[in-house]
Amino acid sequence: MDITSDKMPLSVKNYPHKPGFALGALIGLILIVPVVAIFFLGDALLGLPFVPFDVFDWIARVLPGVVITFGIDIIVGIIRTFQLGETSSTAKIAEHLMAIGGLLATGVVAAAVFFFVQNRAQRRNDGAMPGLILGLAVGIPVMLISTSVNFTSTVEPTLRAVWILVVFVAWGAACNLIYNDLELMSVKANASAAAIDRRSFLLRVGGAAATITVVGAGLGALLRPNPEPDSETIAAANLDTDQVGVRPEELPNADDPVEPVPGTRAEYTPVDQHYRIDISSRPPVIDGATYTLPIKGLVDTPLNLTLDDIRNNYEAMDQFVTLQCISNPLGGDLISTTQWTGASFQKILADAGLQANAAYLRIFSADGFDETVSIDLINQDERIMLAYDWDRAPLTSLHGFPLRIYIPDRYGMKQPKWITSIEVVASDEDGYWVRRGWDEIAQMRTTSVIDTVATDSIIRRDSKFFVPIGGIAHAGAREISKVEVKVDDGEWAEAELRAPLSTTTWRIWRYEWPFEEGSHRFSVRAYDGSGTLQIEDFEGARPSGATGIISVNASL
Ligand SMILES: Nc1nc2c(c(=O)[nH]1)N[C@H]1C(S)=C(S)[C@@H](COP(=O)(O)O)O[C@H]1N2
Ligand SMILES: [Mo]
């Protein structure tokens, strides 16, 4: 029988080798890969949404906080256990892969179910309708999700919606056509000829899908605009590039004789190595030239400040800042230090004129993040600022361009980046991570870390040998007054402290341990400025930040 014949029996339910669930899964995979490539190309070329990220971000927004925390803990645990690199950027790559994997899985499952349903149908339906239904069944939810969470696309929402539906309907139509062709082959009288037909058919389909994927992804990768428009931002701000970056000799403790032990993390973190945590797959990219910050609500004079207003009308404050994520595991790398520059929040609020019942600021961000800051706190702490520079250059898009808040002594979760508006209100309201079960205050906890037991930098003094041990200690804005080291079950011994960059940054410590052969356990603990010892008991990061004493083993 000719497989292209129109004279097929209407009822095909009795034929063996009809395509079913498993073949549907395979076809689903073959066809969804080029869909990902097409979305990638649409994004790179035209600024259309890359829907795998949208769906992933949406799921991350709607899942309960505990589930998200559990997921993050697993990712961070894997990265640290297998030493896959710097935690925050590796985690972002993992999220991207999970997002793409999620769309692939959706395509596989949807096509498998589609084949299964078609297989069980009593009558053949070789029209376009089943494909249209499949395409819309996947496309409409994805379109709605993308519309609700995407803030990176530069295309009008209706066009985006049409684009997403068109791609999925084309995918559904392809699934349907292939199902029909496979079904026709399966009713061939000669079973082995049918198998050969099917194999070469699948190879052709696979070849076409691979071609679309390679061309789409390749073009997309080639034509993608530089995702980091930061050099342009620097140029637009008319900054003299010689002035960008704090030079090592300019650091306030440059001549401190207490030198970091080799292997201690950098005291001043290069911005491109600063840890980075945000709720979205991709950071919002905001145009600084047209940007304005509205400050409204319970104020006498609502403001709408441009970046120039904020840079020029308020005295620039420079502060060295150690920022840490509340999810940072003990001894982790979600903590970094750089110089922040910004405008005093007290002065800005004074210009807006707070009304009598004004008590809190609701701060909203371009990525859908939000937090609440109490006005009492701002009144008590003149260091709180709206920051626009890091390391003497405009904030990068990853780190919150054009504006972020700085609040000393609080974990990062309380400090929105990419601020788009501020509303002065009378009552408190939980912010993004607080709603998901994290600490309302999120005061940074005292922590101390051993970065290195420098067995290859042994010091010889008076014919004795010493192993230098070093690391950091941090207590938010409460300063570090003392760090102690213990070896095995010995006494706690005081370490030397390097002057910090500011009262809110970490402090580098070092301890020279009289060398003894064998294997040893080194522990560290710190006291804050009021002499309070850090919490020694182990507690995980959720909900208030990790605590406990860090120990490392070394064999000498
Ligand atoms: N708008 C916005 N601000 C945000 C976040 C975010 O996801 N969106 N993450 C917060 C968290 S949890 C941390 S730890 C810090 C991290 O700042 P960084 O990425 O610049 O290091 O930003 C905070 N501000
Ligand atoms: Mo964080």
Whether the Cβ atoms of residue 371 and residue 432 lie closer than 8 Å to each other: yes
Counting atoms of ligand 1 from 1, which one is nearest the CA of 418?
1
- Tell me if 436 CB under 6 Å of ligand 1: no
- What does the pLDDT read at residue 186? 83
Ramachandran sector of residue 258 (left: φ over 0; alpha: ψ -120 to 50; beta: rest): beta
- Tell me if 512 CB under 6 Å of ligand 1: no
> CB-side exposure of 192: number of CA atoms within 13 Å?
0
- What does the pLDDT read at residue 15? 66
Q: Whose CA is nearest to atom 18 of ligand 1?
A: 276
- Tell me if 212 CB under 6 Å of ligand 1: no
Residue 277 Cα to ligand 2 midpoint, Å, equals 6
Quick check: pTM over 0.85? yes
* 437: DSSP letter: T
* 373: DSSP letter: E
CA distances in angstroms from 203 to 111, 187, 199, 254, 510, listed in the order given: 18, 20, 6, 66, 64
Q: Which has the closest alpha carbon to 260: 328, 337, 319, 321?
A: 337
For residue 395, give both structure tokens: 């904030």
Q: Whose CA is nearest to atom 12 of ligand 1?
A: 413
Q: Whose CA is nearest to atom 6 of ligand 1?
A: 278
- In the chain, what are the domains? 21-223 (no CATH), 265-425 (3.90.420.10), 447-555 (2.60.40.650)
- What does the pLDDT read at residue 189? 64
Whether the Cβ atoms of residue 51 and residue 146 lie closer than 8 Å to each other: yes
- Tell me if 323 CB under 6 Å of ligand 1: yes
Residue 518 Cα to ligand 2 midpoint, Å, equals 39
Task: Identify which of 405, 414, 415 to mutate to test ligand 1's pocket (most ligand atoms within 8 A of the CB).
Answer: 415
Q: Whose CA is nearest to atom 24 of ligand 1?
A: 416
Q: Whose CA is nearest to atom 21 of ligand 1?
A: 276
CB atoms within 10 A of CB 512: 21
Residue 118 Cα to ligand 2 midpoint, Å, equals 48
Q: Whose CA is nearest to atom 10 of ligand 1?
A: 413
Q: Which has the closest alpha carbon to 474: 442, 505, 443?
A: 505
From the number of C-beta atoms within 10 Å of its C-beta (0-12, 13-18, 19+), residue 155 rates as middle
What is the C-alpha to C-alpha distance for residues 525 and 541, in angstroms, rounded to an integer? 18
**Cα dihedral 129, 134, 137, 140 sign:** negative
pLDDT in tens, the chain (556 residues): 444 444 455 555 556 678 899 999 999 999 999 999 999 999 999 999 999 999 999 999 999 999 998 998 899 999 999 999 999 999 999 999 999 999 999 999 999 999 999 999 877 778 899 999 999 999 999 999 999 999 999 999 999 999 999 999 999 999 999 999 998 888 776 777 878 888 899 999 999 999 999 999 999 999 887 655 565 555 555 566 667 899 999 999 999 999 999 999 999 999 999 999 999 999 999 999 999 999 999 999 999 999 999 999 999 999 999 999 999 999 999 999 999 999 999 999 999 999 999 999 999 999 999 999 999 999 999 999 999 999 999 999 999 999 999 999 999 999 999 999 999 999 999 999 999 999 999 999 999 999 999 999 999 999 999 999 999 999 999 999 999 999 999 999 999 999 999 999 999 999 999 999 999 999 999 999 999 999 999 999 999 999 999 999 999 8
Quick one: which ligand is closest to 407's CA? 1
Residue 372 Cα to ligand 2 midpoint, Å, equals 15
Whether the Cβ atoms of residue 465 and residue 458 lie closer than 8 Å to each other: yes
Tell me the backbone φ, ψ of residue 298, rounded to 5 degrees.
-80, 60
- What does the pLDDT read at residue 18? 83
Q: Whose CA is nearest to atom 16 of ligand 1?
A: 277
